[in-house]
Amino acid sequence: MNFQDYPVQSLMYITDRPDIVFTHGKGSWLHDNNGKRYLDFIQGWAVNALGHCNDAMIDALNRQAQRLINPSPAFYNEPMARLAKLLTDNSCFDKVFFANSGAEANEGAIKLARKWGRKFKGGAYEIITFNHGFHGRTLATMSASGKPGWDALYAPQVPGFPKAEFNDIGSVEKLITDKTVAVMLEPIQGEAGVVPASGEFMQQLRALTRERGVLLIVDEVQSGCGRAGTLFAYQLSGIEPDIMTLGKGIGGGVPLAALLARDEIACFEAGDQGGTYNGNPLMSAVGEAVISQLVAPGFLERVRENARYLSDRLLALSDARGLAGERGEGMLRALLLGRDVGPQIVQKARELAPEGLLLNAARPNLLRFMPALNVTRAEIDQMFTMLDNVLDQVL
Ligand SMILES: Cc1ncc(COP(=O)(O)O)c(C=O)c1O
């Protein structure tokens, strides 16, 4: 079908989109309305952990759709309980609350920390977050984010989120007062351009928050669920946080997110937290199909091996082209371009013919790579061939 024949005019404008409509996908490949195929290294913004239309996810969705879709969050259901156990068995957390988006999971984390502060820390409510951090698009999570310009966009902000500098423990220490209930960070700042917290910083944060009786919250919406090469990115630094949020990868593409906490922190009382779709069996069944594949023997080892290969080749490309290097963890990586040509590369890569390449420039001076965790070496090689072609045109 021609682009002009799709009724896209009825959609509210929120961003510029190219004049194509995606119709179907499988694994690392997406297809558009013109029959063109694209190698996808965005994967729904690090969402499709297992690529497009993963078979086990489809099976789970079909099976569960015929069995039970939503009995209401006021009742237990089978997939919600099984998925919660899968998550607690494979993390340092004891309790799980399911949500529908990363922002909603983070709202839950903020509420849980404030509740804990009211119960156990004399009403402390401030949560120290970080410049350039990203926690979502609700009013509270925008206020928690440190994205330039967001303080004024929907002013007034929700109060209680003083900002520290990432990877600078002194800047955190300076902000801790009697009002501080928690420190919240992304172990790898994704939207900021794939900036990992150093292992040392994570360990210093854990020590400081323990010493001052403050909670440590990790937002693993982007870095979690295998993306960093470990099931959760906090595991890279050998620390145990108090609260973690998950989104994106946990649903492999469907709306599912989670708030996890250790037993002694999980202090919600009846009526404090909820939501119509939270823990619904249909999405929970998909989450179970995703996480079961991630924890299967050998899966994360393969992710780490292929991530090392991707990283080595990015570095070699950077050296060969005189670019500014690469960084990241696992399958969340950035190629530093050293100049603001990211958006131009993204557009030219998409327009390549006969097959396009989908990339993202989280910042104008870098490209972010977030392929399916099960991307093959051949697909990584093909991505570099296509990228080389674009760089020949742009640089
Ligand atoms: C670290 C982090 N937290 C929260 C969010 C928000 O998640 P959602 O878009 O599902 O609300 C994102 C989305 O990019 C994210 O990267």
In a domain, 389, yes or no: no
Domain that holds residue 138: 85-295
What confidence tens digit (pLDDT) does each residue in 10-50 have? 999 999 999 999 999 999 999 999 999 999 999 999 999 99
Which CATH number do you get for residue 193? 3.40.640.10
In a domain, 46, yes or no: no
Q: How far is the CA of 221 from the centre of ligand 1 (A)?
A: 6
What confidence tens digit (pLDDT) does each residue in 217-228 have? 999 999 999 999
DSSP 206-234: HHHHHHTT-EEEEE-TTTTTTTTSSSSGG
In a domain, 288, yes or no: yes
Hey, what are 335's tokens?
């190629």
Domain count, the chain: 1
What confidence tens digit (pLDDT) does each residue in 96-131 have? 999 999 999 999 999 999 999 999 999 999 999 999
What confidence tens digit (pLDDT) does each residue in 250-293 have? 999 999 999 999 999 999 999 999 999 999 999 999 999 999 99
Query: Please, which pLDDT band fits residue 52 given cuts at 50, 70 and 90?
Result: very high
Hey, what are 45's tokens?
């913004």
In a domain, 346, yes or no: no
In a domain, 310, yes or no: no
Q: How far is the CA of 79 from the centre of ligand 1 (A)?
A: 24
Task: Give the pLDDT of residue 89.
Answer: 98
Q: Is 330:368 a contact under the CB 8 Å cutoff?
A: no
Q: 219 a known binding residue?
A: yes
Q: How far is the CA of 317 from the centre of ligand 1 (A)?
A: 30
Measured distance CA(213)–CA(36) in Å, rounded: 56
In a domain, 390, yes or no: no
In a domain, 122, yes or no: yes
What confidence tens digit (pLDDT) does each residue in 308-325 have? 999 999 999 999 999 999
In a domain, 257, yes or no: yes
Which atom number of ligand 1 is nearest to the Cα of residue 141? 4
Task: Give the pLDDT of residue 82.
Answer: 98
Hey, what are 10's tokens?
């009825």
What confidence tens digit (pLDDT) does each residue in 331-345 have? 999 999 999 999 999
Measured distance CA(391)–CA(341) in Å, rounded: 10
Where does ligand 1 bind, in terms of residues with CB under 6 Å?
A: 45, 101-103, 106, 134-136, 186, 190-191, 219, 221-222, 247
Percentage helix, strand, coil for the chain under 3-state DSSP, each rounded to 5: 40, 20, 40
